[in-house]
Structure 1
Amino acid sequence: MRKVEVVKHNPKWREKFQIEAEKINHILGENIITIHHIGSTAIPDIYAKPIIDILVEVKELIKVDERNYLMQSLGYQVMGEFGIIGRRYFWKNNQEGIRTHHVHIFEVNSKQVERHLTFRDYMISHPEDAQKYSELKFSLAQKYPTDIDSYMNCKDSFIKEIDLKAAQWRLSIQQSSRKTI
């Protein structure tokens, strides 16, 4: 049973992302297209679980599988697809057994990459929705301090609502940029 903890935004999360991204880049090297900081720790001024979410776009997933042992050498648990087809998922705990990082790896042009980045970018561009999300996360963490499943399940409908708004927002940006060309 994992403790559900959300804390105020910490500016050091960006640095923690960069440090870990360098380590992952060293291991996956030439297969990497790009590495992104995603999740709530990438959204300024909102409450978040202090877990750095990293999204890695790669050329080939099979090459990631071949380097699982190197991810393990960094302290990661290899979880395979873990419920999302076409993903490779890893998580890491610190010495006290507290979760510190999640790594989500997809092949380039995956719809999942677009969804995660659109959600993050939408929330950064729409601080009012980001604050609603922050308040929801805080209240759910208070309500379910030792029940991560209930915490996650209760966020699901809000996340799906934002995913729809974010997709419409991204489409409107793409359409307006085409008009200016």
Structure 2
Amino acid sequence: MRRVEVVAHKQEWRVLFGDECVRLRDIFGAELMEVSHIGSTAIPAIHAKPVIDMLAVVRNIDHVADFNEAMGRIGYKARGENGIAGRRFFSKGGDERSHHVHMFQAGHEDIARHLAFRDYMLAHQDEAEAYSQLKRQLAAEFPEDIMGYVNGKNAFIKMIDERAKRWGCD
């Protein structure tokens, strides 16, 4: 069972992201176009589950499975699309997850959505703090129910996604 833990921001998350970028680039080589730090660990000063979320853009999503074995050697489990069409998802650390890799082919609409959410939260500290408070509340309410925690964030995330879309057009 995955326990829901939300902790204060840690400076080391940026370093952990950078270290993992190097590993991904070593494995995927020219197939990997870019890697971005996303999710709450990419937003300083807010609470987060201590899991580094990474957005990896690849040239051809159909080639990603060719790298599953190499990803396994560095601790990742391939989880296929895992609920999002066109994505390839990897998790590291089993029930004590440390990293998630969300891979999309260049041009996939979710790339812009993830980056816009992160950038909007970085630019709007008051809303980032509200998100932080919500996550702490949900972690306390659902300490052993990851789906309850995730579902409790959905409405807020959708609201920020819409604001980020409009903000990005300014």
TM-score (norm 1): 0.92
Aligned residue in 1 for 2:81: 81
- 2:110 aligned with 1:112, yes or no? yes
Give the CA deviation at 1:6: 0.3
Give the CA deviation at 1:112: 0.4
Aligned residue in 1 for 2:161: 163
Aligned residue in 2 for 1:175: none
Give the CA deviation at 1:145: 0.7
Corresponding residue pairs, total: 170
Identity %: 46
Amino acid at match of 2:135: K
SS at match of 1:83: coil
User: C-alpha separation between the residues in 2 aligned to 1:66 and 1:3?
Assistant: 32
**What's the RMSD between the two structures over aligned residues?**
0.8
Flag the structure with larger Rg: 1
Aligned residue in 1 for 2:13: 13
Give the CA deviation at 1:141: 0.5
Aligned residue in 2 for 1:145: 143
User: C-alpha separation between the residues in 2 aligned to 1:98 and 1:55?
Assistant: 20
Stretches (4+) displaced over 4 A: none
TM-score (norm 2): 0.98
Give the CA deviation at 1:108: 0.8
What pairs with 1:6-85 in structure 2 (closer than 5 Å)? 6-85=6-85
Give the CA deviation at 1:32: 1.1
User: C-alpha separation between the residues in 2 aligned to 1:115 and 1:158?
Assistant: 14
SS at match of 2:162: helix
User: C-alpha separation between the residues in 1 aligned to 2:107 and 2:124?
Assistant: 25
Gaps of 5+ in 1: 173-181
User: C-alpha separation between the residues in 2 aligned to 1:80 and 1:98?
Assistant: 20
Give the CA deviation at 1:109: 1.4
Aligned residue in 2 for 1:178: none
User: C-alpha separation between the residues in 2 aligned to 1:120 and 1:69?
Assistant: 30
Give the CA deviation at 1:146: 0.6
Aligned residue in 2 for 1:100: 98
Gaps of 5+ in 2: none
Question: 1:17-60 deviations in whole A, cap 9, x for unaligned?
Answer: 00011001100010111000000000010000000001000101
User: C-alpha separation between the residues in 2 aligned to 1:60 and 1:157?
Assistant: 32
Give the CA deviation at 1:159: 0.3
Give the CA deviation at 1:114: 0.2
